[in-house]
A and B are shown apart, each in its own frame.
Chain A
Amino acid sequence: MKKLFRTLVPGFLIFLVFVLASCGSSGTSGGSSSSGGSSSSSGSSSLNIAFLPKAINNPYFDTAATGGKTAATELKGTFKQVGPSTASASDQVTWINTLTEQHASAIVVSANDPNALAPALKQAMSQGIKVVSYDSDVAPDARQIFVNQANAEDIGRIEVQVLGKQLNYSGQIAILSAASTATNQNTWIGFMKDELSKPQYKNMSLVKVDYGNDDDQTSFNDTLALMQAYPNLKGIISPTTVGIAAAARAIESVNKGGKVALTGLGTPNQMRKYVKDGTVQQFALWDPGKLGYLAYYAAAALVQGKITGKQGDSFSAGTLGTKTVGANGTVLLGPPTVFSKANIDQFNF
């Protein structure tokens, strides 16, 4: 009897939660006033835009968030950034569901996996929430607009060109990437390989593509391992902000600054020290602050019904001027900036 009781009670409670919840869903529209005070969405229905980066506490996305905040202030909207603590697609799906439930007016997302996020984003869109992807795109039918930081081809080629020049077009090079499944990095690496196949690079050979998983420790150790495995290694391209910083530290730790050239994508604040001491001569990046700024403006234009995200739509993006939606709902930020000793002090992010 007691055993039966113990079996039934928890089961019944869980069942009860379900039943109550299903009842609750029909009644929330009327009864939310009692506790609606804690939520930001009550009252100002206009611009309640949430950024969902790949992971929080990442300087790159924090800079983008600063840009988003600036745009929010200009447009008198609200801005918030939420997200998982490690870059995981499944955690992002949880956050998308949460934001859907909060009735955010738009979700601005950088996808850890283009397809895994699609069903949840489609569900959000079916409830009237606008979806903008930035930095890393999702499946095109799961968002209205993709704010592209730079043309993938430009980025891939520019990094090889920068490194080629530094190495006088000869020697072994390696790539230190992010996760082996990262959409952006894989596309860029594709263009890097294409650029390397051109005749002027015939004396340069790509010996290894390594994956540091956007983890500082892993990237650091992998860089050391690369230099040990390939003693004649002349250069490393790290197309990820986490990787390039870890690689710079690793190169410096074994006093190979100047012997192993490093380039890739990094932020000026992160790389300033290594550029000034000569470990890194040049690296490239777009301004993530502007990326976040543009993404907020695009999301706002969608929410306010100024655009629908179809090709040819154009909208005002504050200090960036008028932007036009291109093919596949893509809005382009502009060409990447190459940073060196000469100009690095003009940037602070």
Chain B
Amino acid sequence: MKRFAFLRTWEALLVVLLLVAIVIGSSLSPYFFTGFNVSSLTRDLMEKAIMALSMTLIIITGEIDLSVASVLGLASVVLGAVWQAGVPLWLGIILVLILGAVAGLVNGLLVTRLGLPSLVVTLGTLGLYRGLAYVVLGDQAVSNFPAAFTNFGFGSVPGTLIPWPFVVFALLALLFIGVLHLSWIGRQIYAIGNNKEAARFAGIRVARVKLLLFMVSGLLAALAGVIFTARFSSARPDNALGFELDVVTIVLLGGVNIFGGKGTLFGVILSLFIIGAVRNSLGLVSISGDIQNIVVGVLLIFSVLGPNVVQSIQAALTRRHLAASSSTKKV
């Protein structure tokens, strides 16, 4: 029984869901399961994927960061502005990564030092950072980036169909999996999400961990902004408008509990590809954006309901198991 415990987890359900999405996608369109399509499907997801990594950690601690897409947009226009002003691109990238971390730091300080709810704080900075993005570039868009930079966004690893942004994501995912699932920092993160007070009494510096996570979130959002800018060779203040909701959707569908304490990065990575596959296959049969939004919306509701259902099934199984073992004991 215990050996197959994996089969009863949310992740197992997601694996099935992904396979179903792939099978349905392939049957809907002969073009779904081709190298080019899977490659472009993956490329489309990468900015959201990168932001979902840090979002997972933040939501597991019981907080949320709604400002990620705005930080992305701000990073994008600042990169454009400094490049236009003649700053070398590598320096510009470093600058906006620092900027992203600072943006995250502001979120983190407001949440941890002033004790404000992160939902409110980051809802505020969602507007604030997006507004700043419009202030920086106004009605302009910078698009004369060097080819080497845009190729990084649009090109693939030579000889393969693996998009460069995917390489960045894969490395980051490994790092995050290591931190969350194999290190003491990860255990602290789960502890905070499960019971903040108990975590504090256990000697965990709750505020410091959260502050760090918000900074990482800002940093990754800025990195996603750099990739976004490269992919579209365009720095515009409205870049990635509304992406924060997609990121949260991905994380929640991945089985991360919105109240914190539960969830894995594996689930999040699976849900990322499920949403990508669903949107892409619907697109291939010419179903427009509105219907796609409906499908993803239903998926999200399913994701909030799902873990509860799995939990109650698990509880039922355990009860039956206990009942069975107790009855054998009686005999």
Chain A contact residues, CB within 8 Å of chain B: 2-3, 5-7, 9-11, 13-14, 17-18, 20-22, 24-26, 28, 31-32, 34-36, 38-39, 50, 55-57, 80, 82-86, 88-91, 93-95, 97-98, 100-103, 113-116, 118-120, 179-181, 186, 211
Contact = CB atoms under 8 A, between A and B. Distances in A.
Contacts of B182: 3
A25 B35 contact: yes
A70 to B, nearest CB: 20
Contacts of A13: 15, 18, 270
A258 to B, nearest CB: 31
A325 to B, nearest CB: 26
Given A85-B288, A180-B237, A14 B27 contact: no
B177 interface: yes
B288 A35 contact: no
Given A10-B270, A97-B40, 18 more contacts: A9-B266, A10-B11, A11-B266, A13-B18, A17-B273, A32-B30, A38-B285, A39-B31, A56-B288, A84-B289, A85-B288, A90-B44, A94-B280, A101-B284, A113-B141, A113-B234, A115-B232, A119-B233
B210 interface: no
Given A38-B29, A83-B289, A119-B233, A211 B239 contact: no
B36 interface: yes
Interface residues of B, number: 63
A25 to B, nearest CB: 3
Which 8 pairs across A and B sit closest by C-beta, in order of nearness?
A25-B35, A85-B289, A180-B139, A115-B143, A116-B232, A21-B38, A32-B30, A116-B234
Main secondary structure of the interface of A (DSSP, over half): helix
A82 B160 CA distance: 30
Interface in B23-53: 26-31, 33-40, 44
A38 B282 CA distance: 12
Contact of A98 (B141, B177, B283): B283
Interface in B235-263: 236-242
A228 B240 CA distance: 32
B289 A10 contact: no
Nearest to A50: B286
Nearest to B290: A85
17 contacts: A2-B6, A6-B6, A10-B269, A13-B270, A22-B35, A25-B36, A28-B31, A35-B26, A35-B29, A39-B31, A50-B286, A80-B286, A88-B238, A90-B240, A113-B234, A180-B134, A186-B139
Contacts of B15: 9-10, 13
Contacts of B237: 180-181
A36 B30 contact: yes
Contact of B266 (A6, A26, A35, A83): A6
A95 B289 CA distance: 10
B138 interface: yes
B140 interface: yes
A20 B18 CA distance: 14
A89 B234 contact: yes
Given A5-B6, A6-B11, A85 B293 contact: yes
B188 interface: no
A211 B266 CA distance: 42
Contacts of A32: 30
A25 B289 contact: no
A57 B177 CA distance: 42
A160 B292 CA distance: 41
B288 A89 contact: no
Contact of A21 (B33, B138, B269, B286): B33
B289 A86 contact: yes
B35 A21 contact: yes
Contact of B236 (A85, A181, A211): A181
Contacts of A89: 232, 234, 236
B26 A3 contact: no
B82 interface: no
Interface string B270-305: 100100000110011110111011000000000000
